[in-house]
A = this chain, B = another copy of it.
Amino acid sequence: MSRTLYSLCGSDLSRPFSPHCWKVVMALKHKGLSYSERPLPFTAIPDIENGATRTVPLLRDGDRLISDSFAIALYLDDAYPDEPTLFGGEGGRAMARFVEGFSQTVIHPAITRIAIMDIHDMLDEADQAYFRRSREQRFGMPIEEVAAAREQEIAAFPGKFTPLRHMLNFQPFIGGDGPLFADYILFGALQWLRITTGSVHLPQDDPAYAWYERCLDLYDGEARKVA
């Protein structure tokens, strides 16, 4: 069966950077499912699969089309129950939404303010115009103003990982002894930050950094291949 993951890139097709798409890459690897990835610039997304989506990730799995990273993970776990679980049961399925909430509302806003100009600069001209327009509409200010607090955000960034550090006193992954989709949720955010800015902005002796490195090591270092 043919499986295609549509993801997001800038001018360089070899450096897909979307946090949500990275969650799905890791979920597919976790499930041991083969796929081909098709990274797209922002402005090409509306044209794929007969206008099926305005956002990526979009997964084509045979005759199925699924968008939204969490929905894709739920789909994969239901469609391939014999492959390793992404959630570890009903409780894990529910609590992964809390981890998503933490990632989306605490970590993503900080990364946006740190990386927004880097992201802009990675894009082709037409995508830069789209990105500026859509983000300035969302934030109600020029993207340069969103980026104004960059240095303060970088200084405050490690402090946001205290919940993860507490947890790492008890276990190596959010999933416990091994990673689950909840790990990939938070990992995707840091992967986005690293690929767009060149650093995850965590100290090298930080247990949260060590956890990120453990995720980079998974699946033959799949996520490390994009520098």
Contacts and interface: CB of A to CB of B under 8 A. Distances in A.
Interface residues of A, number: 35
B101 A165 contact: yes
B92 A171 contact: no
A149 to B, nearest CB: 16
Interface stretch (A27-35, A173-181, A197-205): A173-181
A162 interface: yes
19 contacts: A88-B89, A88-B92, A88-B94, A89-B91, A91-B93, A91-B95, A91-B96, A92-B95, A94-B175, A95-B98, A95-B180, A98-B99, A98-B102, A98-B164, A98-B167, A98-B174, A100-B167, A101-B164, A102-B163
A170 interface: yes
A53 B57 CA distance: 51
A171 B101 contact: no
A95 B171 contact: no
Contacts of A180: 91, 94-95
B163 A105 contact: yes
A125 B167 CA distance: 36
A209 to B, nearest CB: 16
Nearest to A174: B98
A135 to B, nearest CB: 20
B105 A166 contact: yes
A100 B176 CA distance: 14
A97 B170 contact: yes
